[in-house]
Amino acid sequence: MVRPHIATIGKVVRHVTRLRGGGSAFPGLVVEKIDPHFTRDVLAALPHGVVIISGTNGKTTTTKMTVELLESQGFKVFTNRTGSNFARGVTAAILADIDYSGRLDADIAVLELDEAHAVKFVDVVSPRYSLLLNVMRDQLDRFGEIDTTARMLAHIAQATTKTVVLNREDPRVAPIAETLPDSVESEFFGLDTKLRAKFPSDDDLHSTAKDIEARDADVILKSFDGNTAVFRFDNNEVAVPLKLRGIYNIYNAAAALALTRTIALEHYNKKALLEALGNVEPAFGRGETLLLDGQPIELVLVKNPSGFRLALESFPPIGYATMIAINDNYADGRDMSWLWDVEFDSLRTPGVAQVGGIRAYDMALRLQYDEVETIAVDTDISNALSQFISSNPDSPKRIYCTYTAMLKIREQLGKITEVEKVL
Amino acid sequence: MTAEKRTLTIVQLYPDDMNIYGDWGNVLTVLKRAKWHGLEPELINYNVGDKFPTHVDILIGGGGQDSGQLKVQDDLQKIAPRLRELAENGTPMLMICGLYQLFGRFFKTQKGNIIEGIGIFHAETHAGPERLIGNITTHSEQFGDIVGYENHSGQTFIDSDMQPLGKLVRGAGNNGQDETEGCLHHNAIGTYLHGSLLPKNPAIADFLIEEAAKKRFGDFTPTVIEDRFAAKAREIALKRPR
């Protein structure tokens, strides 16, 4: 039972913190100090429980899609959409949404959680559903080894009470199905055989197509052409025009579809589902497009080698001016080794117009070894961005950026054009 | 004078199982710099069960997870006599992290199990209680400042008859205790530095190439390579937080 006064205190602290320009974690901290069970109790009251989405790449986009797909099925959804993908951030998000009596007006919570935070979170709140996307090399300086990350996902799955949705194509994720208790179901989303080569997996297990296809997938991405994707489910192939860009986002749509179908059951409305899918816009920094002086600027977040490789494969460079911004703050990962696991040959024509960020010279050095021409380098992101814009006034632009570089770029762009407020 | 074709054979050891944290960057740097120095590099990948190449000019091996080390250990023992012979003959080698450990005598795991190494480096590694992670700088008379990023839980102790690659300036190094980092024996280098190591430390890359070329052709004439980006990247890496 949630005591209403806790909710009130939390909301007041949140309000004061925001007035003072503070972050999203502090009010959560205060509430946890007063009532350590606050988050668990509020979420336990939701009729359809809690969904956790985790994995290395695509959490934010997939969470956003799942929320919109569930809404199309008539669910009232609570989510941590501020990007606070850690436990205290969830508490803070709850405080923003609950009423003063301590009730969250929602049917279900869909939470995006970082692997390491999700592990601790599920020990307090048992998710009814979980969706595990992939395990790739990401911020290994934080988690240690890729096998450790896989064990974290298995832990989340084992804490799930009803259904776990798994990526059939990831050899570290799919076998988690075999570790679940009998009372818990597993569902898969997957790729058609001929698409598999387009998704470089960060793995050395070399599963064969036969091994992979031994598992039945509820939703399969069959093919895509430009922005239209063909999914197979309910024994039918359905072509859906999408606003999402990039093949990895489209595969995430298969994940969100499988998860939503699992949850919706008796509410299932296929027509509304497909309509919602066609309307999902990319999450911020995941291929979102801004307009500046009549020219589009695309922001593409890159966090790890596999994500960067997929992004380069998704967005042909011809006709675009390209900028790459690399920071090495804690949230980006301090180790620059990952840049050497990405091939940049595809950028050789027309080259890279601008490199920016704290580690701009590491990036320029990386491009030198792939014999890609770099026109300008500046470690100051604001300078790099202004230079990039003024030197390429007449072309569409694309910026690949690490997390903190993206925040800085959005802040700068916000001064000169319309940028959606997300934080 | 007709230009004589000077092929340099670079062998990458276990790229399928021991290749993490940008190890490809080291191979790429040797391939490209050898080309820029006027040589014709060829790359051979050696994996578990393959036939070991008859000729090796430079041998490069990377890091791996514990599971990768387990996969390669039997095969490594099989080719050990060849590797020891190559090392004794002065073949330039670069072994990073996981293979640095296995090029020592042994790796003792957290549970006390011994993974046998091949003893090219007179050194032993013990699993440590914590991961040693972060930006690292060492110094060597031969190579100057060496910059990189370390991420390992094994603690390596080299015997007193071995020379470390560098003396610690900041970071943990071989074991967090004795201020040494890596090992240099004949022309074989073992080190914990990722980052990747060679692009930001071109002096080491050129050392491997020069030694290999001299050994195979008797002489080596370097080209001046534009290392402006490397110099700036080094300067910045030195100042970044751990």
Lookup: tokens for B2: 């007709």
Distance (Å, whole) CA A117 – CA A106: 23
How much is the pLDDT for A205?
A: 45
How much is the pLDDT for A273?
A: 94
Contact (CB, 8 A) for B1 and B175: no
A374 CB neighbours in chain B (<8 A) are 229
pLDDT tens digit sequence for A198-257? 765 555 444 567 778 889 999 999 998 877 899 999 889 999 998 887 777 889 999 999
How much is the pLDDT for A311?
A: 84
Residue type, A148: T
Instruction: State whether residue A415 is helix, strand or coil.
Output: helix
Domain boundaries, chain B: 7-239
Lookup: tokens for A409: 């770029």
* B116-122 average pLDDT score: 97
Encode burial over B108-138: b for 16+ CB neighbours within 10 A, e otherwise: ebeeeeebebbbbbebbbbbbeebbbbbbbb
> Residue A167: phi, psi to the nearest 5?
-75, 110
Kindly name the residue from B37, B97, B152, B183 that is annotated as catalytic: B97
Across the interface, of B20, B21, B233, the residue whose CB is closest to A362 is: B233
- Report the range out of A150-159, A207-216, A283-292 with the highest average pLDDT: A150-159
User: Strand A228-233 relative to strand A236-241: parallel, antiparallel, unpaired?
Assistant: antiparallel
Kindly name the residue from B37, B152, B185, B194 that is annotated as catalytic: B194
CA distance A303 to chain B (A): 14
Lookup: tokens for A400: 């690949």
B230 CB neighbours in chain A (<8 A) are 365
The residue to which tokens 């195979």 are assigned: B216
Distance (Å, whole) CA B24 – CA A369: 11
**B77 close contact with A: CB closer than 8 A:** no
A340 contacts B196? CB cut-off 8 A: yes
pLDDT tens digit sequence for A246-261? 777 889 999 999 999 9
Across the interface, of B68, B149, B241, the residue whose CB is closest to A336 is: B149
* B213-234 average pLDDT score: 97
Q: Which residues of A touch B (CB under 8 A)?
A: 137, 140-141, 144-147, 204, 328, 334-341, 358-359, 361-362, 364-366, 368-371, 374, 377, 379
With 60 as the cut, is the pLDDT of residue A22 above it? no
Mean pLDDT of chain A: 85
Domains defined along chain A, listed by start: 48-82+105-279 (3.40.1190.10), 286-416 (3.90.190.20)
B233 contacts A365? CB cut-off 8 A: yes
Lookup: tokens for A191: 């790729």
Number of H helices and E strands in chain B, helices first, is 6, 12
- Tell me the torsion sign for CA atoms A62, A63, A66, A67: negative
Q: How far is CA B158 from CA A72, A216, B179, B191, in A?
A: 64, 52, 11, 12
B201 to chain A: closest CA residue: A365
Q: How far is CA B76 from CA A9, B116, B209, in A?
A: 63, 9, 24
How much is the pLDDT for A178?
A: 94
Secondary element (H or E) of residue A285: none
How much is the pLDDT for A17?
A: 62
How much is the pLDDT for A16?
A: 61
B97 is catalytic: yes
DSSP state of A283: P
A369 contacts B29? CB cut-off 8 A: yes
Distance (Å, whole) CA A222 – CA A207: 19
With 60 as the cut, is the pLDDT of residue A75 above it? yes
Closest to A66 in 3D by CA, of A128, A130, A16, A154: A130
pLDDT tens digit sequence for B14-61? 998 888 778 999 999 999 999 999 999 999 999 999 999 999 999 999
DSSP state of A127: -
Closest to A328 in 3D by CA, of A337, A316, A336: A336
B65 CB neighbours in chain A (<8 A) are 145-147
Secondary element (H or E) of residue A234: none
Contact (CB, 8 A) for A24 and A112: no
A339 to chain B: closest CA residue: B22
* B198-227 average pLDDT score: 97
Distance (Å, whole) CA A279 – CA A67: 12
Secondary element (H or E) of residue A115: helix A115-124
A341 contacts B24? CB cut-off 8 A: yes
What's the angle, vertex CA A44, arms to CA A38 and CA A47, rounded to 5? 140
B186 is catalytic: no
DSSP B92-113: -EEEETHHHHHTSSEEE-TTS-
pLDDT tens digit sequence for A373-421? 999 999 999 999 999 999 999 999 999 999 899 999 999 998 887 775 4
Instruction: Name the CATH superfamily housing domain B7-239.
Output: Class I glutamine amidotransferase (GATase) domain (3.40.50.880)
ipTM: 0.97
